[in-house]
Chain A
Amino acid sequence: MKTRQTKRKSVADIHEMSTPDAMIDMHGVVKKFKNAAGEFTVLKGIDLTINRGEFVSIVGKSGSGKSTLLNMITGIDHPTEGRVVIGGTDIYTNVTESQRSKWRGRNLGIVFQFFQLLPMLTLLENVMLSMDYADMYDFDERPARAMEMLKLVGLEKFANKLPALVSTGQQQLAAIARALACDPPLLVADEPTGNLDTKSANTIIDLFENLARSGKTVLMVTHDPSLTSRTTRNIIIADGELINETIAKALPWLRHRHMMEFTKLAEEWVYEPKATIISRDEHVEYFFMIRKGEVEVVLQDRKQNETVISRLKPGEFFGDIELMRGGKSIANVRAAADAPVELLTIKREDFKRVMDQSPLTAEAVGKIVQQRLDEHRAADSRANRPFFSLFRRKQS
């Protein structure tokens, strides 16, 4: 039985409502700068929620606004419009810069690309300094706590050395120890490995993973794609706007501007469990990306026996074969039985146009199409029959 899908608004406007689990909650954050050339908008209404315990990477090209976004989260700069709620605190409403500093000392650990240790203090003193400012822990307990943090990052032997006397990797580890000194629930790192060799970078990412596992929220700006693969979530920012994470995950080969184009064009559809999304022999007019829930690709034999040949998860897409090769769908696609499914859809002509402009993506999608056809052949008991299409379009 078909269940009619519910159509939602454009995904560019979608923002999940704040949940008790949210560590970072940004609503309509706009940041404008003025200079001699005039006013320009760096952040164009950012909505973002990051939950506790997530290890999130933020990527974007130079000038995309990622550092500004980070500054909004850390309270280093203030938004022109919008709200930023960190750990339940609205950090810009009726809060002075000085109060924000105090709040930051207690609730946020920041790791900078260039470490930013104070050169006149030893590593131990640098770690203790944040406790002094935030007035955390008893004065006499601070040395022991700082040493504990340095042990955590393996620097206890260098505790009484000035930053200039240790390697850059060790300086960054010390900066992380400092960021953790007040036991903040949120750790924000701006290109933490940008200035380090691979070995040091790996040590630091391992550390971040452990911290995220232990319940801390870790947010990291990076340029390095090898690092994004190790985070639990990847946020892309382009020209001051966030790219839909489903699109970024489904089509990572796209240029950011195409991702952004899709973000703006995509519509979200929701299907109840078991609802048919595409029927066999239907013309497919959309490209589908799974945001939430799962879909099943089902083949039926002459006796109407169903075989689930594939189960697609969030971040995966379908409708590609039809759109890439033409023809009708040869299989049914339906929402999984256990939960509703949320899909992002791009119209055929939009998808085709972007694929024409992005041969790399077209090639990558083409390979996936081929791979799926092969898998389908193996699974299909009527594999020798002419093959028209895997998926059928479901009318809205």
Chain B
Amino acid sequence: MKPRWRKVLHDLIDNIGRTLLVVFSIAVGVFSIGVIAGAYQIISNDMSVSYSANNPSNIEFRMTNFDENVLTSIHNQRGVKDAEGRRVFNMRVRVPGTEKWTTLDMVAFESFEKNAINLLTPIEGAVEPGKRQVLLEKGALDHLDVGVGGLLEFQLPDGSTKTMPVAGIVQDTAAGAADFLASPFGYITMDTLQYMGQPKLYNRVYITVADDGDDILHIREVGGVVKDKLEKSGNVILRTRFSLTHEHPLASTVNAILGILLALGILIVFLSSSLIANTLNALLNQHLRHIGVIKLVGGQRKQVFRMYITLIMAFGVIALAIAVPFGGIGAYALAEFIAVKLNFNLLGYRIVPMAFFVQIAVGLFVPLVAGLAPVINGSRITVLRALSGDLAEEKVQIKDGEKRLSWFDWMQVKVTHLLALRGIHIPRPFVISLRNTFRRKSRLMLTLFTLTMGGAIFISVFNVRVTLHDYINQIGKYFRADVTLDFDQPYRLREIENAVMSVDGVTHVEGWQFLSGELLDDHENVIENITLLSPPADSTLVQPILIEGRWMRPDDVRKMAVSEGLRKTYPGLKAGDYIKMRVDGRDEIWQVIGLFKFVDQEGLLGYTPFEYVSEMNNLANRSFSYRVVTESHERAYQDAKAEELDKYLRDKGFKVRVAQAGSASLDTAVESLDILVVFLLIMAILTAIVGSMGLAGTMGMNVLERTREIGITRAIGADDRARIRTVIAEGVVIGLISFALAIVLSVPFTYGLSYIVSSAVFQTPIAVVFTYLGYAIWLGLVLALSTVASILPARNAARLTIREVLAYE
């Protein structure tokens, strides 16, 4: 090996700490981008493959009861490839001997063997249940502690219970795909329906189209035709849903979120590149004398250039060797995490070529770009300058034959002097820390940049989290009841009120009604479902965030306030406009009286007064559904009261279908959002790690460059603690400056991130909320990080003997 290449090898292994710092700086960026790019590829591919592998329906009609003949007629429609009827109803279920009831969506199949749409994937046990047996969707196991062969107790509407064994566990990737707040599923045969107190009739039909299952217009067209026929033959369609064969319903949301993570990944690469630039700059500075000697003995500029470029490439290759495998594992782990949450399957661990090549490019290209300037500058240095030691960082300007300081240094000295004149003396060791902070300004800038970005993102993630929670809480204002009671039959308002108010802790109860509608276009085609909730017009349980128009009044007839999502269907819609809607099979014209903010999950939401709907439904002063307000609004209290009301009302002979805490679905939504926040936080922590690595590197370089000064302070009496304190104080000062900058930067970051996340998740920008929590945690973290990042260099500084340091002279 030629001596110059041997030198490169020595530079790699001589200073392991420095090599590791550079390598890890590169590796963090490569790892992040590898994880995100890999997960993005895996998810976007596997999500659709897994979803389409189960032959998802293109059209789903929720209908009133229908029989085999109707199903056959659907089957025979033009454009329909296949159609399967099922009965879906919900039941309360628990493991015998336990107290906790869980609501399952029970799905009855005619034949599991002939199942061709929304296929079930067997996981354990039987592939199809026998009579009076049930299959459980694997998601149900999160709620029920039961295995194959175990028994489940089902509660029928009349309060009686039936027991069935679990025959097997299956996965249903299609059924709840669009709604990750959906109840878990249980599957039975039509023969079991009678046992469960249900008629042996279908209420849902799943259809696949014959032609292009990925053309939404075609699917809608076929759906429209089938619907028309069904309605003309007297069937009532309550709700319609259209889906593409090869696109998971949540694909766009997941991709949007992955897009945010990708942006953060790119930012990490960017930050790590500034870290690399810093480290390589310091390395080249340390090597200037070597370069001087190389040139003195005849080395040419291009040879020096090649040597150091090779060194940088070597750093890149080592980083790749570490980061690529971990990046691949991380990508798959992230994809798997999302797959489990969204209930789809991955095709197995693999290396994603795109992610692999992106990593290679980042691992080699970024250090090259970051190190190019220092290498070019280093290779250009003259022998005289390299060997003369004229590399001092303190630059004194000579003006009019007089030595002068830069304005910044002058200002620092002046401020200290002015303070001293006022009797405020800063201890000199701390003055050293303060002034050392600003000595290498370009290095400080890069360090501050990485640490500030890390901090700003970290703080922003907390703000976004609170913003999302706040929004969910705002949404909660539409559902302020503490307990929701649904009955199998309507009861008089007074009757329920008397019964419910006699339960301790109940302060208020009111009856609500519902109306399902379908929004129609000019050709009377269904374009969107809408659910109209009907609380009393003066209900205090809804506190809408109106963005336009007014809220409902008791005398409103065919008037509704709707969620702003309607504007997607009707761009430019204003309060006061009229829209065409099909309600219970009747085409009607309704007036939009107001628009309010809301997250539309499945279909749109609107409010119309109970006073009108109860008359329309012929349920005056009666209702199926009630909202109860209790003294305390805590979740635990709500759960307890729901349980108590359920038992009390059943004992009184009321046919309670569901009694659940008002916050239940909101809490589930919050949990789902927290998953997203966790992702963001992981990225924020990665940026923080890059930032603290940058700080550790900077402190290490600073200490290395100031070895002589450390020796001097030792020579004049500084003990270990004093030295360590000075170095740590410098790190903490940098940390605090970055914190101050992060506070400022976190404001636009919070707005930007909130905008992107809320647009992806809620399809609408939401009001930003700030929390002190992120700031407080980051302050603590940055102080801890800067202390930790300085400890090692500080300990090294304390370890240096004066003889060693003065040998640098």
| A complexed with B | yes
Chain A residues with a Cβ under 8 A of chain B: 71, 74, 76-77, 97-99, 101-102, 104-106, 110, 112, 114, 116-122, 125, 128-130, 132-134, 139-140, 142-143, 160, 162, 164-165, 178-179, 182
State whether B715 touches A104 (Cβ < 8 A).
Answer: yes
State whether B396 touches A106 (Cβ < 8 A).
Answer: no
State whether B718 touches A76 (Cβ < 8 A).
Answer: no
Q: Nearest Cβ distance between residue B133 and chain A, in whole angstroms?
A: 77
Known: A76-B803, A140-B425. A129 touches B394 (CB 8 A): no
How distant is the Cα of A117 from the Cα of B801 in the complex, in angstroms?
A: 18
How distant is the Cα of A117 from the Cα of B715 in the complex, in angstroms?
A: 11
State whether B715 touches A110 (Cβ < 8 A).
Answer: yes
State whether B717 touches A125 (Cβ < 8 A).
Answer: no
- B720 is an interface residue with CB less than 8 A from chain A: yes
How distant is the Cα of A106 from the Cα of B716 in the complex, in angstroms?
A: 8
State whether A105 touches B718 (Cβ < 8 A).
Answer: yes
How distant is the Cα of A18 from the Cα of B165 in the complex, in angstroms?
A: 99
The interface centre, meaning the residue of B394, B403, B405, B712 with most chain A CB atoms within 10 A of its CB, is B712
How distant is the Cα of A101 from the Cα of B711 in the complex, in angstroms?
A: 10
State whether A104 touches B716 (Cβ < 8 A).
Answer: yes
State whether B431 touches A121 (Cβ < 8 A).
Answer: yes
Main DSSP-derived SS at the A contact region: helix
From B222-230, B432-440, B554-562, give the one contacting chain A. Answer: B432-440
Enumerate B11-63 residues with CB–CB distance to A below 8 Å: none
- B713 is an interface residue with CB less than 8 A from chain A: yes
State whether A162 touches B717 (Cβ < 8 A).
Answer: no
State whether B435 touches A121 (Cβ < 8 A).
Answer: yes
How distant is the Cα of A140 from the Cα of B423 in the complex, in angstroms?
A: 9
State whether B715 touches A74 (Cβ < 8 A).
Answer: yes
Main DSSP-derived SS at the B contact region: helix
How distant is the Cα of A112 from the Cα of B809 in the complex, in angstroms?
A: 11
Interface string of B695-709 (1 = CB under 8 A from A): 000000000000011
Q: Which residues of chain B come closer than 8 Å to A143, judged between CB atoms? A: 420, 425
Q: Nearest Cβ distance between residue A242 and chain B, in whole angstroms?
A: 21
State whether B431 touches A165 (Cβ < 8 A).
Answer: no
The interface centre, meaning the residue of A97, A101, A116, A134 with most chain B CB atoms within 10 A of its CB, is A101
Q: Which residues of chain B come closer than 8 Å to A165, judged between CB atoms? A: 396, 403-405
State whether A101 touches B394 (Cβ < 8 A).
Answer: no
Enumerate B380-436 residues with CB–CB distance to A below 8 Å: 394, 396, 403-405, 409, 413, 416-417, 420, 425, 427-429, 431-432, 435-436
Q: Which residues of chain A come closer than 8 Å to B405, judged between CB atoms? A: 162, 164-165
Number of residues on chain B facing chain A (CB within 8 A): 39
Q: Nearest Cβ distance between residue B403 and chain A, in whole angstroms?
A: 5
- Please name the residue on chain A nearest to B435 by beta carbon: A120
- Please name the residue on chain A nearest to B404 by beta carbon: A165
Q: Which residues of chain B come closer than 8 Å to A119, judged between CB atoms? A: 394, 709
The interface centre, meaning the residue of B715, B717, B806 with most chain A CB atoms within 10 A of its CB, is B717
- Please name the residue on chain B nearest to A104 by beta carbon: B717
How distant is the Cα of A97 from the Cα of B809 in the complex, in angstroms?
A: 21
How distant is the Cα of A99 from the Cα of B432 in the complex, in angstroms?
A: 22
Q: Which residues of chain A come closer than 8 Å to B417, judged between CB atoms? A: 122, 160
Known: A77-B803, A121-B432. A160 touches B715 (CB 8 A): no
The interface centre, meaning the residue of B416, B711, B718, B809 with most chain A CB atoms within 10 A of its CB, is B718
State whether A99 touches B413 (Cβ < 8 A).
Answer: no
- B587 is an interface residue with CB less than 8 A from chain A: no
Chain B residues with a Cβ under 8 A of chain A: 394, 396, 403-405, 409, 413, 416-417, 420, 425, 427-429, 431-432, 435-436, 439, 708-709, 711-722, 798, 801-803, 806, 809
Q: Nearest Cβ distance between residue A253 and chain B, in whole angstroms?
A: 33
Q: Which residues of chain A come closer than 8 Å to B806, judged between CB atoms? A: 76, 112
Q: Which residues of chain A come closer than 8 Å to B428, judged between CB atoms? A: 121, 125, 128-129, 132
Q: Nearest Cβ distance between residue A148 and chain B, in whole angstroms?
A: 16
Q: Which residues of chain A come closer than 8 Å to B802, judged between CB atoms? A: 71, 76-77
Choose one: A77, A121, A122, A133; the contact of B801 (CB below 8 Å): A77
How distant is the Cα of A125 from the Cα of B417 in the complex, in angstroms?
A: 10
- Please name the residue on chain A nearest to B718 by beta carbon: A133
State whether A130 touches B720 (Cβ < 8 A).
Answer: no
Q: Which residues of chain B come closer than 8 Å to A106, judged between CB atoms? A: 717
The interface centre, meaning the residue of B417, B708, B714 with most chain A CB atoms within 10 A of its CB, is B714
How distant is the Cα of A165 from the Cα of B413 in the complex, in angstroms?
A: 12
- Please name the residue on chain B nearest to A128 by beta carbon: B428
State whether A98 touches B709 (Cβ < 8 A).
Answer: no
Q: Nearest Cβ distance between residue B112 and chain A, in whole angstroms?
A: 78
Q: Which residues of chain B come closer than 8 Å to A71, judged between CB atoms? A: 802-803
Choose one: B404, B420, B432; the contact of A118 (CB below 8 Å): B432
What are 11 pairs between A and B in contact, CB < 8 Å? A97-B720, A102-B719, A105-B718, A112-B712, A120-B432, A121-B432, A129-B432, A132-B428, A134-B716, A139-B425, A164-B405
How distant is the Cα of A142 from the Cα of B708 in the complex, in angstroms?
A: 25
Q: Which residues of chain B come closer than 8 Å to A122, judged between CB atoms? A: 413, 416-417
State whether B716 touches A110 (Cβ < 8 A).
Answer: yes
How distant is the Cα of A359 from the Cα of B110 in the complex, in angstroms?
A: 126
State whether B722 touches A133 (Cβ < 8 A).
Answer: yes
State whether B716 touches A133 (Cβ < 8 A).
Answer: yes
Choose one: B425, B436, B714; the contact of A101 (CB below 8 Å): B714
Choose one: A101, A112, A132, A178; the contact of B427 (CB below 8 Å): A132
Q: Which residues of chain A come closer than 8 Å to B416, judged between CB atoms? A: 122, 125
State whether B809 touches A114 (Cβ < 8 A).
Answer: yes
Q: Nearest Cβ distance between residue B407 and chain A, in whole angstroms?
A: 14
How distant is the Cα of A114 from the Cα of B806 in the complex, in angstroms?
A: 10
Known: A133-B429, A139-B425, A162-B405. A98 touches B717 (CB 8 A): no
Q: Nearest Cβ distance between residue A14 and chain B, in whole angstroms?
A: 29
Q: Which residues of chain B come closer than 8 Å to A134, judged between CB atoms? A: 716-717
State whether B720 touches A162 (Cβ < 8 A).
Answer: no
State whether B717 touches A182 (Cβ < 8 A).
Answer: yes
How distant is the Cα of A139 from the Cα of B719 in the complex, in angstroms?
A: 18
State whether B801 touches A76 (Cβ < 8 A).
Answer: yes
State whether B432 touches A133 (Cβ < 8 A).
Answer: no
State whether B798 touches A120 (Cβ < 8 A).
Answer: no
- Please name the residue on chain B nearest to A77 by beta carbon: B803
Q: Nearest Cβ distance between residue A317 and chain B, in whole angstroms?
A: 39
The interface centre, meaning the residue of B409, B420, B428, B439 with most chain A CB atoms within 10 A of its CB, is B428
